[in-house]
Amino acid sequence: MPVTTVPVPWAEALGASLPPLVVQAERVAQTVMQGVHGRRRPGQGDAFWQFRPYLPGDAAARVDWRQSAKSDRLFVRETEWEAAQTVALWCQSGPEMDWRSDRMLPTKRTRAELLLLALTSLLFRGGERVRLFGLPRAFAGRGALPVLAQSLPRAAAVAEDGRIPRHARAVLIGDFLAPLEQTRKVVAQLAARAVRGHLLQVLDPAEETLPFTGRVRFEGVATPDHALVPRVEGVRALYEERLARHRDGLRALAAASGWSFATHRTDHPPEAALLALHRRLAPD
Amino acid sequence: MWQAGPIAFAAPWLLVALPALPLLWWLLRVSPPAPRSQAFPAIRLLRDLPPTEETPHRTPWWLLLLRIAAAALLILGLARPVWQPQTGAGGDGPLLVVVDNGWAAAPDWAARMASATAAVDAAAREGRRVALLPTAAPETGEPVAATGLMPAEEARARLAALRPRAWAPDREAALAALAAFRRAHPGAIASLYVADGVEHAREGDAFSPLAAALAEAGPLTVAQAEGRPARLLPMPRAEADRLVVRVLQTALAAPSEATVLARTGDGRAIASATLAFAAGATEAEAALDLPIEIRNQVVRLDIEPEAGAAGTVLLDERFRRRPVGLAAAQETTADAPLTGDLFYLDRALSPYAEIRRGSPEALLARRLAVLILADREIPEGREREALTRWVEQGGMLIRFAGPRMAERPDPLLPVTLRAGERALGGALSWERPQTLAPFAEGTPFAGLTPPTEVTVERQVLAEPSPRLTERSWARLADGTPLVTAAPRGQGRIVLFHVTANAEWSNLPLSGLFVDMLRRLVALSAGVQGAEGEAPLAPLEVLDGFGRLGPATPAAAPIPANRVEETAASPRHPPGWYGTPGQTEEAAWRRALNVSAHLPPPRAAAPPPAGARSEAIGGVPAERDLGPWLLALALLLLAADLLVSLVQRGLVGPQWGRRGIAAALALALAGPAAAQEGPGAAAIATRLAYIVTGNAQVDEISRMGLAGLSDFVNRRTAAALAEPHGVVPGRDDLSFYPLLYWPVLPDAPQPDAATAAALNAFMRHGGIILMDTRDEGSGEGMNPGAGAALRRVTRDLAVPPLAPVPEDHVLKRAFYLLQDLPGRYAGGQVWVARDQDRANDSVSPVIIGGHDWAAAWAQDGRGQNPYATIPGGARQRILAYRFGVNLVMYALTGNYKGDQVHVPAILERLGN
């Protein structure tokens, strides 16, 4: 498993910025909140489901005495079975995520982490369990959100973790600009373990529109290579076409595994992307 | 040199580079600019793009234009362009620059030098050699001579070292020098004559021969100032209480004005008079009205704004306070109050003259202007001889009659006296005491009105004689002379036919007596005495600009009795002459003024027909454009650099935003700093003054308190902030420990709100320092301030006042002070008389009239703009010390009062 290569100072900076991020995530999640999804049958849970007559063998403690006092029979209170599901989340790290084209925009990492935390907050409210790739334990309960936020830097750099339970759900957030084969491998590995999931591509607007002009020497952020474009205006259409093709490839590989794919731009509000994600995760 | 229109190029071959500019254009077009770097994560999508569009990126046209312009400017700048170059002196051969550097050239010397330098510059460009001929004798005492021919650069340095002289140019000598020069250099020469336009010869025309000789030698250019008169300030005329100044000038077509400033020894102007010249007038007169005490401080008069030695007059003893000797028959009783012979004389004269006492012989041993003998006979012998000689040399002898003179008249009298005196009124006479007749015109007392209550009961009578009428300066109502006078040699003898005390008449009791004596003292010829042949060495001399400096090496001493008739020359430059090291040097130095022996200025003859005329100052000087073009090129290149940086992305738009923000912050900082909240006064301890509405007085108050705060901050532990001006009733006074209040003569009675605010301020421990600015030596400076003080304090709760006692804390708080001077010394300062325990016995008001703020005032350069009167650094220091004591008193109350009791405490402790 690759080791997270987040420099310590950066991690500290992130840690310092996390509480506001968590607060923002809570705020974003608030706009998308909905109730716990019950299993529509009695079981473990807090919500009342039904009264049923006492049967021999029921523990005396389960008798609802208030209801029983209304008649001559004893009633037992049953609650709805609420099954908690595990959702595994992954957020792409790496220097390419720390890029932004304008100081007024958030970096892709900031936006991706915000979406991840907001989604986590929603899931916690729904009573679900949340895992991060590369971390041994799952998180649950609303109080766990800050802890999870602080664990973010320790999460795996690549979405591969053998400890993810089968039939869990997965959400991968990143720019997915790496070659399609890499993404296909990750998704295939997860799909092989019956994990269904969702890919969310977060891009900077400049990456989508290529707004530069003139003679520009583009330099890679994560990789040391560069490309000299004599006249950027001339290649803009070509670039957009290539990007569209890359996205089509992502969408196709997701669909092949029964996954879904969506895009998000850092200059768009995060709520829309979050709502779409949450819908995807809603029970069938 | 290659000329194109008003521009000439000193290095025209460099312009060849201009056609190469299109090459630069082409080079810039083909070579693309360096690409800007851009980090980009999605670089994988950009890799291996097919070369769909091969149009190379071009430098934008405006950037090209910028660079081309910068290159063009660089080339033009290096070609050394000159704007409106001087068109040389014409002709060829060497250039002779003749400069009038006498007194008349000083006012516009800079313009004259610019004109001459321009010609020398032109000669330098043409490679001509240059000679200089100043027409005024050099201060080394050598004769007027032309320099040899030298390269123009050297001549420029010699020209820059040339200074106007404090005497007149000698054109005859210059003509001779020119002839000598021509003998040495017989070839054709071009010449420039920078003339001052004044004919300096007493009569005749010395200008034309010189100009003609120059015109004969080659092309001549005459540079003269136009529309500018040469002005001369002759010696002023001293009248009883004013100085009448006269200014002579060359006639001018338009009316003009000149100002004469009276300055003290330390250069401060204390009075000014404006003289208006009608069109075509050559003379104007105005009076400087000065109280005699102030007049005594005036040591020089200057025409403003024109500087120059002839516009400066140094005033020596003859314009000063006159020394007056007093002698009585019996010195022991002379000062007896109300009855003494000299009691009234002393009081009448001491404000205006320097009084000396002693026997006539002792008095005459020093220089004296007036000698007054009160009923003292002059015994035959040495004393009479000495007196006679002194009077004949110009002394003024004033005698008062009395019983002794009535007994034994002596010859030193203006008229022959009858023996005995005449009594008017009294028990045995029918006659009544006589009043005074009005003073006749033509006498020194003309214009004075005799009060009717002045009566004469007894007098000595003159023998009637034909000349008695003309010798009588004052008469009684019945026509008998009261004051007679007669010239004797250069001097004069004046006789009052009554006593100098109130025994024979009540004239000495009246103000008329004071006025009469003042007129007589002013009439005296000045200081007389044995000056003899003693040489007076030059102490300080005036240069051509009218500035005093150390004596020049060639300056020679002048015999004391010949200072008057000596004309200014290199051997005797104008300035101060005296005996160096003499104790009373300042008092006894003599002034030699250049204007005393100059004829009235008249315009010189017009230049000869063939000469080219040129105005100095009017022609715009040639200007070297090279540095400016190079600077502009650099500016353009800097802009180009900035544009390149922006294009490469090294300087982003956020820098622009920051720049705008910084510029905005700078622009807003000024007004923002100026806005102070109402509570700002409470932040620091500071002094305050009451705003009177008179801008000048308020400015003095502000400067004074600022100067005092500065002094206090330097000398004590107190930390005072910038003083505030306050308006009682509008501003909150509770923040200020001390208010300075200059009481103007026209100060209105404060309204109810103001009075209430001031009363509250005093009640709660504040101190108000009221300054009427008319005490002591400043008496009479602000007439009416006393009445104004009564008016403004009518509604104020001012406690009973008393003069500051000797042991008052105000004199002990920080420095030990004897008196409390400000700008004026002497006089009285008043504080609360009674001790008031409620307020720590601190006096809520301090009233004086010493114009303290003016003494404390400091201008922006840290100098004191207001002279102290009578003056001296000591008085200024004492004024500051009083200020420190005052601030301490205001801040600490009577805490320092314990110091007064230290002796008693020590005694009690057993030491």
- Nearest residue of chain A to residue B60 (CA atoms): A214
Best mutation target, A216, A239, A250, A266, to test chain B (most B CBs within 10 A) = A216
- Number of neighbouring beta carbons within 10 Å of residue B727: 13
Chain A residues with CB-CB distance to B40 below 8 A:
99, 206-207, 218-221
pLDDT winner (highest mean) among A1-10, A46-55, A253-262, B767-776: A253-262
Segment B345-369 mean pLDDT: 82
Segment B700-721, tens digit of pLDDT? 999 999 999 989 998 888 888 8
**Strands B370-374 and A226-229, sheet pairing:** unpaired
Of the candidates B464, B475, B468, B465, the residue with the CA atom closest to the CA atom of residue B440 = B475
What architecture is the B680-900 domain classified under in CATH? Answer: 3-Layer(aba) Sandwich (3.40)
Compare A242 and B611 and report the one with higher pLDDT: A242
- Nearest residue of chain B to residue A247 (CA atoms): B45
Kindly state the tokens that stand for B148. Answer: 């040899």
How many angstroms away from the CA of B38 is the closest CA of chain A? 5
Q: What percent of chain B has pLDDT over 70?
A: 88
Assess whether pLDDT exceeds 50 at residue B503.
Answer: yes
Chain B residues with CB-CB distance to A203 below 8 A:
42
Compare A251 and B204 and report the one with higher pLDDT: A251
pLDDT the model gives residue B234: 86
Interface residue B54 vs chain A (CB under 8 A): yes
pLDDT the model gives residue B52: 56
Interface residue B46 vs chain A (CB under 8 A): yes
**Strands B458-462 and B455-456, sheet pairing:** unpaired
Domains defined for chain A, CATH in brackets: 8-36+84-281 (3.40.50), 48-79 (no CATH)
Segment B892-898 mean pLDDT: 72
Distance CA(A118)–CA(A133), nearest Å, equals: 17
Interface residue B47 vs chain A (CB under 8 A): yes
Q: Classify A64 as helix, strand or coil.
A: coil
Kindly state the tokens that stand for B827. Answer: 């006089």
Interface residue B56 vs chain A (CB under 8 A): yes
What architecture is the B325-523 domain classified under in CATH? Answer: 3-Layer(aba) Sandwich (3.40)
pLDDT category, A11, cuts 50, 70, 90? very low
Contact B36 A214 (CB under 8 A): yes
- Number of neighbouring beta carbons within 10 Å of residue B133: 20
Interface residue A54 vs chain B (CB under 8 A): no
Interface residue B35 vs chain A (CB under 8 A): yes
Answer whether B588's CB lies under 8 Å from B317's CB: yes
CA dihedral B543, B104, B118, B91 (to 10 degrees): -130
Chain B residues with CB-CB distance to A204 below 8 A:
41
- Number of neighbouring beta carbons within 10 Å of residue B52: 10
How many angstroms away from the CA of B40 is the closest CA of chain A? 6
Assess whether pLDDT exceeds 70 at residue A30.
Answer: no
Assess whether pLDDT exceeds 80 at residue B900.
Answer: no
Contact A230 B654 (CB under 8 A): no
Assess whether pLDDT exceeds 90 at residue A200.
Answer: yes
Of the candidates A268, A7, A11, A273, the residue with the CA atom closest to the CA atom of residue A149 = A11
pTM for the full predicted model:
0.45
Task: Annotate B502-551 with DSSP letters as a single string.
Answer: TTTBSGGGSHHHHHHHHHHHHHS-S-BS--TT-EEEEEEEE-TTS-EEEP
pLDDT the model gives residue B212: 86
Interface residue A166 vs chain B (CB under 8 A): no
Interface residue B644 vs chain A (CB under 8 A): no
Omega within 30 of 0 (cis) for the link into B291: no
Kindly state the tokens that stand for B716. Answer: 């004590």
How many angstroms away from the CA of A227 is the closest CA of chain B? 6
Best mutation target, A217, A225, A240, to test chain B (most B CBs within 10 A) = A217
Q: What is the mean pLDDT of chain A?
A: 81
Interface residue B911 vs chain A (CB under 8 A): no
Of the candidates B802, B792, B799, B797, the residue with the CA atom closest to the CA atom of residue B772 = B792
Answer whether B91's CB lies under 8 Å from B190's CB: yes
How many angstroms away from the CA of B31 is the closest CA of chain A? 13
Contact A218 B40 (CB under 8 A): yes
Q: Classify B476 as helix, strand or coil.
A: strand
Assess whether pLDDT exceeds 60 at residue A86.
Answer: yes
Chain B residues with CB-CB distance to A217 below 8 A:
35-38
pLDDT the model gives residue A69: 92
Chain A residues with CB-CB distance to B32 below 8 A:
215, 230
Chain B residues with CB-CB distance to A96 below 8 A:
41
**Strands B417-423 and B458-462, sheet pairing:** antiparallel
Kindly state the tokens that stand for B673. Answer: 């700093």
How many angstroms away from the CA of B689 is the closest CA of chain A? 54
Contact A214 B39 (CB under 8 A): no
**Exposed e or buried b for every residue in B14-44, given b needs 16+ CB within 10 A?**
bbebeeeeeebeeebeeeebebbebebbbbb
How many angstroms away from the CA of A10 is the closest CA of chain B? 19
Q: What percent of chain A has pLDDT over 90?
A: 16
Reported residue count of chain B is 911
Chain A residues with CB-CB distance to B41 below 8 A:
96-97, 99, 108, 175, 177, 204, 207, 220-222
**Main-chain phi, psi angles of B716, to 5 degrees:** -130, 175
pLDDT the model gives residue A173: 93
Of the candidates B849, B856, B840, B809, the residue with the CA atom closest to the CA atom of residue B713 = B856
Residue B10 one-letter amino acid? A
Answer whether B847's CB lies under 8 Å from B785's CB: no
Q: Classify B236 as helix, strand or coil.
A: coil
Q: Where are the domains of chain B?
A: 1-28+59-81+626-651, 95-224+606-621, 231-322+535-600, 325-523, 680-900
How many angstroms away from the CA of A239 is the closest CA of chain B? 7
Interface residue B826 vs chain A (CB under 8 A): no
Interface residue A215 vs chain B (CB under 8 A): yes
Best mutation target, A93, A100, A204, A231, to test chain B (most B CBs within 10 A) = A231
Interface residue B38 vs chain A (CB under 8 A): yes
Segment B838-878, tens digit of pLDDT? 667 788 889 988 889 989 998 878 788 888 888 788 889 99
Kindly state the tokens that stand for B207. Answer: 């200008």
Contact A235 B52 (CB under 8 A): yes
Q: What is the mean pLDDT of chain B?
A: 82
Segment B506-541, tens digit of pLDDT? 999 998 998 898 888 877 755 554 455 677 888 888
pLDDT the model gives residue B655: 60
* Strands ordered across the beta sheet of B81-83: B2-4, B7-9, B81-83, B623-624
Interface residue A175 vs chain B (CB under 8 A): yes
- Which residues lie across from B476 on neighbouring strands? B436
Distance CA(B661)–CA(B655), nearest Å, equals: 10
Of the candidates B347, B297, B298, the residue with the CA atom closest to the CA atom of residue B324 = B347
Contact B41 A175 (CB under 8 A): yes
Beta-carbon contacts of residue B871 (< 8 Å; ≥ 6 apart): B264, B266, B297
pLDDT the model gives residue A5: 44
Chain B residues with CB-CB distance to A223 below 8 A:
43
Compare A192 and B296 and report the one with higher pLDDT: A192
Interface residue A226 vs chain B (CB under 8 A): yes
State the ipTM, two decimals: 0.72
Partner residue facing B52 (CB), from A227, A234, A243: A234
Contact A242 B47 (CB under 8 A): no
pLDDT the model gives residue B730: 84
Segment B370-404, tens digit of pLDDT? 899 988 888 888 888 889 988 888 888 999 998 88
Interface residue A239 vs chain B (CB under 8 A): yes
Which phi-psi region, left, alpha or beta, contains residue B531 (left: φ > 0; alpha: ψ -120 to 50)? alpha
Q: Which of these ranges, A131-140, B55-64, B126-135, B805-814, has the smallest mean pLDDT? A: B55-64
| Candidates 1.10.10.10, 1.20.1560.10, 2.30.30.40, 3.40.50.410; CATH matching B95-224+606-621 | 3.40.50.410
Omega within 30 of 0 (cis) for the link into B870: yes
Chain A residues with CB-CB distance to B47 below 8 A:
225, 227
Interface residue A243 vs chain B (CB under 8 A): yes
Segment B250-263, tens digit of pLDDT? 888 888 888 888 88
**Main-chain phi, psi angles of B88, to 5 degrees:** 45, -175
pLDDT category, B579, cuts 50, 70, 90? confident
Interface residue B45 vs chain A (CB under 8 A): yes
Same topology between domain B325-523 and domain B680-900 = yes
Contact A230 B33 (CB under 8 A): no
How many angstroms away from the CA of A232 is the closest CA of chain B? 10
Kindly state the tokens that stand for B655. Answer: 């820098």
- Which residues lie across from B313 on neighbouring strands? B301
Chain A residues with CB-CB distance to B52 below 8 A:
234-235, 238
Q: Which of these ranges, B280-294, B430-444, B641-655, B658-672, has the smallest mean pLDDT? A: B658-672
